[in-house]
């Protein structure tokens, strides 16, 4: 199936906007991601694979000039309905687009693992960034990709449509090969936090407390859910 058709159908079958409140784990991941961005009023932001638009909507609230790009017209229409100031672009991140502007920040949040050819998307990002602009990528960390047998085509199908697994060296190599230099690489959301239900138990505490606990559990082993990487175009 063509990726455009897959994500069009996905948005029609599952209402990702139905849940208006984030669960404690989602809230912390959202806070962590925003903490890496230093969003300022007037900053031009491109949200690749915007999905249900949580990042686009939050960045817009902080005064950013936001463009959301996605493969689902349904998702983009819902984002526009919630915030008419957000520019929406129906497009494939792996195909070059004439967006008419350059961006201070491009985010690709849990979407690179879905791409057939991530390198093509990174090459496009390089062209979209302002000089000195930042690319932020988050991906599942060191994920063991599981497959199921599709009931329709009887072929192995990756669960959650994840096609790639990344650790820090693999992501750094991909970025370097496509013209970027890594500024910062951070592992976050330790699996012990979920196992011990600490997201729920600390949900009323400041984000700084959660992040301190997250780092502390990291000392016990390399058991993280996510990797975040900030990069800039290499000179």
Domain residue ranges of the chain, discontinuous segments joined by +: 3-22+38-190+225-233
Averaged pLDDT, 12-21: 63
The DSSP code sequence of 83-95 is -TTSEEEE--TTS
The per-residue pLDDT for 7 is 63
Q: Could you tell me the pLDDT band of residue 144, with boundaries at 50, 70 and 90?
A: confident
CB atoms within 10 A of CB 223: 16
What rounded mean pLDDT belongs to the chain?
90
233 touches 208 (CB < 8 A)? no
Q: Which CATH architecture has domain 3-22+38-190+225-233?
A: 3-Layer(aba) Sandwich (3.40)
- Residue count (the chain): 235
Mean pLDDT is lowest, of 15-29, 76-90, 118-132, 157-171, for: 15-29
pLDDT over 80 (residue 41): yes
The per-residue pLDDT for 197 is 93
Evaluate if pTM is beyond 0.75.
yes
The per-residue pLDDT for 2 is 64
pLDDT over 80 (residue 149): no
The H or E element containing residue 67 is strand 65-70
The per-residue pLDDT for 235 is 80
Averaged pLDDT, 122-134: 97
Averaged pLDDT, 217-232: 95
pLDDT over 80 (residue 76): yes
Paired residues of 227 in beta bridges:
139, 187
Determine what percent of the chain is predicted with pLDDT higher than 70: 89
């Amino acid at each position: 199936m063509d990726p455009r058709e897959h994500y069009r159908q996905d948005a029609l079958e599952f209402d990702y906007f139905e849940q208006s409140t984030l669960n404690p784990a989602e809230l912390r991941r959202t806070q962590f991601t925003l903490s890496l961005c230093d969003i300022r009023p007037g900053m031009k932001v491109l949200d690749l694979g915007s999905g249900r638009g949580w990042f686009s909507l939050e960045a817009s609230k902080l005064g950013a000039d936001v463009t959301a790009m996605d493969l689902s017209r349904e998702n983009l229409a819902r984002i526009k309905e919630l915030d008419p100031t957000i520019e929406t672009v129906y497009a494939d991140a792996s195909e070059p687009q004439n967006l008419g502007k350059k961006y201070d920040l491009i985010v690709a949040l849990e979407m690179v693992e879905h791409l057939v050819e991530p390198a093509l998307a990174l090459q496009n990002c390089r062209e979209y960034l302002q000089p000195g602009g930042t690319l932020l990528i988050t991906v599942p960390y060191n994920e063991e990709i599981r497959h199921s047998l599709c009931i329709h085509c009887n072929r192995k199908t990756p669960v959650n449509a994840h096609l790639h697994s990344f650790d820090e060296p693999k992501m750094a190599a991909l970025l370097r090969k496509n013209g970027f230099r890594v500024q910062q690489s951070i592992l976050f959301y330790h699996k012990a936090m979920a196992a011990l239900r600490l997201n729920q138990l600390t949900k009323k505490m400041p984000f700084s407390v959660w992040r301190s606990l997250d780092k502390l559990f990291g000392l016990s082993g390399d058991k993280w859910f996510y990797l975040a990487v900030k990069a800039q175009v290499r000179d």
